[in-house]
Amino acid sequence: MKNLVEVKNIKKNYGKNEAVKGISFNIKEDEILGLLGPNGSGKTTTIGMLLGLLKPTSGEILINGQKLEGNRIEILEQINFISPYIELPKKLTVKQNLTVYGKLYKINNINERIEFLSEKLRLRGLLNSITGELSSGQKNRVSLAKALINEPKVLLLDEPTASLDPEVGDFVRSFLEDYKKEKKISILLASHNMNEVTRLCKSILMMKDGIIIDKGNPEELINKHGRKNLEEVFLKLSRSKNELN
């Protein structure tokens, strides 16, 4: 499996504050990489750099073999992002929003794509609804449809199931597992839901204070730290001094 995402020693400073202190990792095709860490550990900054919204102070990011620096537009065509902290225009209908983003991502067969995604994400009955009037779970599925409108090779997920009820959360997780398997995409999942990370991710990066303090698959980490589950590993690492860079 080839690496779709290659992050090489990236750093990000805001003035004297070092938000990310030189981290490196890869994400392979057909892989979901979990990005864990306490608030302020540098996860959002890392995602921002992968999206080209933040310029690394140093280091290099390659997406599908292309350098992000200098190829931002070509790379943005291949990636997408979902976060509970960003929304779609509330006054537009679901279909209008998806059409707008279909156009922005230069999708040729927009109607077919919307049809496909609305079927997969149970949005068929909501296409003509006003986006701002939907429930959290429905909005989440619409945002997911927007994030998949361009058939991204790399999907960045920032707490994709935050504030969802267990049923909708489970639906979204199952959908992501199936979609990843079917399309062989790379997913970076930043989440505070340890059950979600255990279920979806074969490998995990633990970040703290801007560095990667541990990595491995969930089982390895649980055994290595002598804990019962990933949540306990998270608590141990969050409260301990940095162990590994």
Partner 1 sequence: MYGLFLRHFYLITRSFPRVLDLVYWPTIQITLWGFISNFFATHTTYYNNAVGVILTCAILYDFLFRTSIGFNMLFLEEIWSRNFTNLFIAPMKIGEILTSLVATALIRALIGLIPAVLLTSPLFGISILDLGIFLFFLFLSLYLFGITLGILVSAGLLRYGPSFENIAWSTMFLLAPFGCIYYPIEILPDVFQKIAYLLPLVYIFEEARNILINQTVDIQNIYNAFLWNGVYFVLSIVLFYYSFNVAKNKGTLINMGE
Residues that bind partner 1 (CB under 8 A): 14, 44-45, 48, 51-55, 73-74, 76-77, 79-81, 83, 85-91, 101, 104-106, 146
Of 3, 95, 9, the C-alpha closest to 57 is: 9
**Are 60 and 70 a contacting pair, CB within 8 Å?**
no
Q: Which segments within the chain are labelled E, that is strand?
A: 3-14, 17-28, 31-36, 58-63, 66-67, 79-82, 154-158, 186-190, 203-208, 211-216
Measured from the CB atom, is 33 or 51 closer to partner 1?
51
Report the alpha-carbon distance of residue 138 to residue 90 in Å, rounded.
Answer: 13
Measured from the CB atom, is 146 or 173 closer to partner 1?
146
DSSP class of residue 77? Answer: T
Closest CB 58 distance from partner 1, rounded Å: 13
Q: Dihedral of CA 211/217/222/223: which sign?
A: negative
Closest CB 222 distance from partner 1, rounded Å: 32
Closest CB 147 distance from partner 1, rounded Å: 9
Closest CB 91 distance from partner 1, rounded Å: 8
Closest CB 145 distance from partner 1, rounded Å: 13
Decide: residue 241, CB within 10 A, 0-12 exposed, 13-18 middle, 19+ buried: exposed
Could you give the count of Cα atoms lying within 13 Å of 188 in the half-sphere of its Cβ?
29
Q: What are phi and psi of 226, to 5 degrees?
A: 60, 40
Would you state the structure tokens that stand for residue 80, as one six-digit string? 């997408």
**Residue 82: strand pairing partners:** 157
Measured from the CB atom, is 136 or 245 closer to partner 1?
136
Closest CB 226 distance from partner 1, rounded Å: 37
Measured from the CB atom, is 77 or 232 closer to partner 1?
77
Measured from the CB atom, is 95 or 146 closer to partner 1?
146
Measured from the CB atom, is 104 or 244 closer to partner 1?
104
